Chain A
């Protein structure tokens, strides 16, 4: 493990009572990136997939933990295994698909075959190895810990550390409310995600999803579009969005929240309850009005370090290099909701998100603007102190105004802690 002190450099995160600043190097230096992969992505819990993508024995998908290629596969014992996608013989990948189904993984080089749990079950011309060759020592390397919460599959390459339950505990109730928009309490991920790359650091995306400060400016065109469509005049959108808050949590999680409500005027959930009485009935069957008030609040939830829960998609941030990132947007259905309601969500998703959306590409434009700006020297630190003076600690959470940088400070506090270890 490479501790940040090994670089003998200036303090990268200034966490002070009167300021919070982040050093340029965290976005530009390859050695910092490598340390992030080792100290963060290969230690904490990393999101690798959703159970709805692997319903049957033999189903698999590929993913990444940091920059390490992995296979997420369901074995005949019903468990999901996360395996390094690397043959133990001569290091070829044994799986090259995004998504698939197979009873085994076969290496294309010398036909070594592995079961869905990674066990080595066969090699071609095995007489080239002594009779006492112990196959059980040469299976695909397994992530030592794999755990799921409500279908979200996480893996850790570290054998020890907080359990997934402990890791998610600070945000559990928000995650639960997010799932409870579904009458069944579950989601089903659609097979083909949107994907966009950008030539910039992964943390620009991580910071942006719970940024409530940029909407008026980066998404002014979106607000004009809504105004043109008669959906909301710009000033009303801005006034409406004055409510809500930001929250920061232990373990680097964070969220941006806007208030909900049961009336059609106050939230999407409220509108859907009005339009689809069966949806309203399903929610009311399980939840009180106070519950639905929370369920209907719109939250972008960041699960450190690589997952966002959005209204229409699971967003996965894939770091490739210090200045290269791929973002995958997995749209999902709310199980048990009317088909029309879900189709409406897919059209709404296409309208804003994705490479041709009317919103996301403006965010991505900012990421590349950032990656150009950090090439300018002589200014060592970025200022992430918005709302520092009015940040409150409430029940173990940091809470701030909806435009404050509370969530990104929570992220960097955890970043700093892990990078020192």
Chain B
């Protein structure tokens, strides 16, 4: 009954390159215990309030009929976003978002980000958290992206809908995303392509430099199922 993205049965032996350096600090100083996210969270990262209820007003609030997006324009942005993810141009991907933008993978779909208050999501990233996600993937010795995921995002069923309360244009699309981490022969956890299906809602806001994303909500069809290694940018 449960669909899992089961990691593949192993492939080949060879040790993966680029393991983190087994740093051996002064043996007299004991290694620390497991990380401590709750007590490590600094005041600045404990949110000032519950999950965003009323977002800040848009800088360029679109009046009804004022700033519109054609389907072709929406597709252009979505294809570009997909390409940036697939080519791991993640710093550029970050700049697609508004400052108050949210990247959200709920476990249970909900209409508005504010509905996530009182729950946990798979991903619920404001600007700071998105930047952390990109930083860890690109600039730290992560194990879960070593080897790195190769992805392909197929975007379709694009519909441009009415703006939301802030005037951000709502764009729906479906995505099918393929992903694989290629490693040595028979390594458990590597070497099998996984496929994810998702229904997405984007909200786009016009600006001086073009349209930006104020919301990317990706609802995997198996969002409430066991999910193996979702550390690539989906």
Contacts and interface: CB of A to CB of B under 8 A. Distances in A.
Interface of A: 96, 98, 190-192, 194-200, 209, 211-226, 228-232, 237-242, 244, 256-258, 267-268, 271, 275, 298, 300, 311-312, 323-324, 326-328, 331, 333, 339-340, 342-356, 358-359, 361-362, 364-366, 368-369, 371-372, 375, 401-403
Given A241-B36, A347-B51, 9 more contacts: A196-B228, A198-B228, A221-B140, A224-B140, A224-B141, A229-B44, A275-B43, A343-B51, A355-B231
Contact of A225 (B31, B108, B140, B188): B140
Contacts of A220: 20, 23, 140-141
B39 A267 contact: yes
B39 A268 contact: yes
A231 B41 contact: yes
Contacts of B186: 372, 375
Contact of B119 (A209, A275, A346, A369): A346
Given A220-B20, A242-B29, A354 B120 contact: yes
Interface in B15-70: 20, 22-23, 25, 29-51
Nearest to A274: B43
Contacts of A223: 35
B77 interface: no
Contact of A190 (B40, B120, B135, B231): B120
A215 B32 contact: yes
Interface string B95-134: 0000000000101100000000111111110000100110
B104 to A, nearest CB: 11
Contacts of A240: 32
Contacts of B9: 199
Contacts of B48: 340
A326 B7 contact: no
8 contacts: A192-B108, A196-B226, A198-B189, A199-B189, A231-B41, A271-B39, A311-B38, A347-B47
Given A199-B189, A365-B143, A258 B36 contact: yes
Contacts of A359: 35, 37
Given A340-B50, A358-B132, A358-B136, A256 B33 contact: yes
A343 to B, nearest CB: 4
Contacts of A225: 132, 135-136, 140
A372 B188 contact: yes
Contacts of B42: 229-231
A64 to B, nearest CB: 11
A298 B36 contact: yes
Given A196-B226, A199-B189, A228-B135, A212 B47 contact: no
Contacts of B118: 190, 333, 342-343, 346
Contact of B37 (A96, A216, A349): A349
B89 interface: no
Nearest to B234: A356
Interface string B140-164: 1111100000000000000000000
**Most chain B C-beta atoms within 10 Å of own C-beta, residue among A224, A300, A327, A353:** A224
A344 to B, nearest CB: 4
A340 B124 CA distance: 16
